[in-house]
Amino acid sequence: MLIENKEQYRANLSSIGDAVLSMDAFGIVTFVNEVACSLIGLSESSIIGKRVSEVMEIFSEDSDEPAIIPVEHVLETGKKVGLANHTALRSKNGKIYSIADSAAPISREDGETTGVILVFKDLTEERKKKRKSYKVRPDSKS
């Protein structure tokens, strides 16, 4: 029964269309889905067993300043956290992705935080379209 539940858990998380990483209580990645591997630019075996900050580099699109992945904060507080607007991911394959994400605690019934789940979405095309819509067309008068 436990093995079936574990397989169902993996199947459910693997089926999500956004990037999903799960960390244990020490912040070590224990699960990563295909979408996350693709965006991060690493294989599952290169991500599992590492801290998320070792495999993901995120930064502010506005200032190019590094952004903090909120896993440690979630582990300390037990509260869900979202990233600031205009956050980007620098993939190991060299691509830059505009992302939105959140980190939430994985808690037992007694309330103890046993890990963190990090979910992020590729918003690159959405943000490109938005930027284009804000630009003034060359034939318009200002």
Secondary structure string (H, E, C) spanning 42-86: CCHHHHCCCEHHHHCEEEECCCCCECCCCHHHHHHHCCCEECCCC
What pLDDT is stored for residue 142 in this prediction? Answer: 45
The answer, yes or no, to whether residue 51 has pLDDT greater than 60, is yes
Residue, of 14 and 82, whose pLDDT is higher? 82
**Residue range 81-106: mean pLDDT, rounded:** 90
Residue, of 2 and 8, whose pLDDT is higher? 8
Contacts of 76 (CB under 8 A, 6+ apart): none
- The model's pTM: 0.81
pLDDT band at 57 (very low <50, low <70, confident <90, very high): very high
